[in-house]
């Protein structure tokens, strides 16, 4: 735990040295294409063979989230205090560099598009010490047990300087919530967008590929592992996929790539904590709240229209 805390302190120092970009100075991408036809997230009918890579938008209804902050989906549990640490490597330019991701579920929540969402705080570290991204991401579980993604506020850094914050929040600028994990994933079922942020060209979706008999990472070996091929509308045209491996009761525990993935990222779960201690949670909460304060400055038109986390 001491190693994780040292990186938390490092992120504080980096952020403290980075001036907040004035409102409207962070570049935004052009809008993506129009949304696909909406269908219910609970649909279990198999996708047609010729339309297998054509994702659809699940029907998002705030009334279907009566206990949204209790995310206990067996394939993707996101309970306050859970923490995953991943280590591996990815391509940076023309060389492979070390890569570390720390994903922590905070005890904060935020109302988004009529739904109370859980707040996760994610730190992305390259070369052992350079923080390249720090992100607030928002999740909720519907009454059928599916985990939804409601948006994100990422801060992207280059050499310690904030260069972009491509924010999308469900219900704003035509953005839509999407399904991250259905309750009972099966090969051949309907493919759903994991979210939709046309203003920043965010169009990720996942396809259930298979169930692997056993996958081992430094933490443990897991059986009957769910494998999902993730991509986006832009990446799928190039045949680029990020493969994510999920174990029951744990969530994502391994990452690979296939096709023409530009990042060529491989990650193993090297630490999993079911409940971080109170001191660590306090540190995470403080850093998440500091990042939200910057979000109101850096994304006044989108994040600035939301109510604060609590």
User: Helix, strand or coil for residue 49?
Assistant: helix
With residue 22 as reference, give the H or E element that holds it. Answer: none
> How do the domains of the chain map onto residue ranges?
2-21+45-202+277-299
Degrees (nearest 5) of the Cα angle 134, 274, 242?
50
Tokens of 144: 């059928």
The predicted structure's pLDDT at residue 91: 83
Q: DSSP secondary-structure letter at 62?
A: G
The predicted structure's pLDDT at residue 262: 63
The CB density around residue 62, as the number of other CB atoms within 10 Å, is 18
Q: Are 124 and 103 in contact (CB under 8 A)?
A: no
Q: What are the angstrom distances between the C-alpha of 5 and each of 133, 253, 282? A: 17, 21, 11
Cα separation, 23 vs 300, in Å, equals 6
Q: Which ranges of the chain would DSSP assign to H, the alpha helix?
A: 2-17, 233-237, 278-298
Of 55, 21, 292, 278, the C-alpha closest to 161 is 21
Cα separation, 179 vs 190, in Å, equals 11
Degrees (nearest 5) of the Cα angle 135, 26, 113?
55
Q: Which residues of the chain have pLDDT under 70?
A: 1-53, 261-262
Cβ neighbors of 296 (< 8 A, separation 6 or more) are 303, 304
The predicted structure's pLDDT at residue 264: 85
pLDDT digits 0-9 by tens, 139-174:
999 999 999 999 999 999 998 999 999 999 999 999
Paired with 247 in beta bridges are: 251
Cα separation, 14 vs 114, in Å, equals 34
CA dihedral 12, 136, 175, 310 (to 10 degrees): -110
pLDDT digits 0-9 by tens, 242-286:
999 999 999 999 999 988 756 789 999 999 999 999 999 999 999
């Amino acid at each position: 735990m001491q190693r994780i805390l040292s990186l938390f302190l490092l992120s504080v120092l980096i952020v403290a040295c980075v001036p907040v970009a004035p409102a409207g100075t962070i570049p935004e991408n052009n809008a993506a294409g129009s949304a696909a036809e909406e269908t219910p997230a609970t649909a279990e009918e198999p996708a047609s063979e010729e339309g297998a890579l054509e994702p659809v938008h699940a029907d998002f209804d705030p009334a279907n989230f009566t206990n949204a902050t209790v995310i206990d989906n067996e394939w993707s549990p996101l309970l306050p205090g859970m923490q995953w640490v991943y280590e591996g490597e990815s391509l940076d330019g023309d060389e492979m560099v070390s890569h570390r991701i720390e994903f922590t579920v905070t005890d904060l929540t935020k109302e988004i598009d009529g739904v109370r969402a859980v707040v996760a705080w994610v730190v992305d570290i390259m070369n052992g010490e350079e923080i390249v991204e720090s992100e607030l991401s928002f999740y909720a579980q519907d009454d059928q047990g599916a985990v939804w993604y409601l948006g994100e506020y990422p801060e992207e850094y280059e050499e310690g300087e904030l260069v972009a914050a491509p924010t999308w929040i469900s219900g704003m600028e035509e953005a839509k919530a999407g399904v991250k994990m259905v309750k009972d994933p099966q090969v051949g079922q309907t493919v759903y967008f994991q979210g939709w942020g046309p203003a920043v060209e965010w169009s990720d979706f996942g396809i259930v590929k298979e169930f692997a008999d056993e996958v081992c990472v430094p933490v443990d070996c897991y059986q009957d592992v769910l494998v999902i091929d993730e991509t986006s509308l832009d990446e799928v045209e190039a045949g680029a996929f990020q493969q994510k491996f999920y174990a029951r009761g744990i969530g994502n525990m391994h990452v690979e790539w296939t096709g023409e993935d530009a990042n060529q990222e491989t990650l193993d779960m090297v630490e999993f904590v079911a409940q971080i201690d109170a001191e660590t949670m306090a540190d995470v909460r403080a850093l998440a709240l500091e990042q939200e304060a910057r979000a109101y400055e850096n994304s006044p038109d989108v994040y600035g229209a939301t109510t604060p986390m609590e």
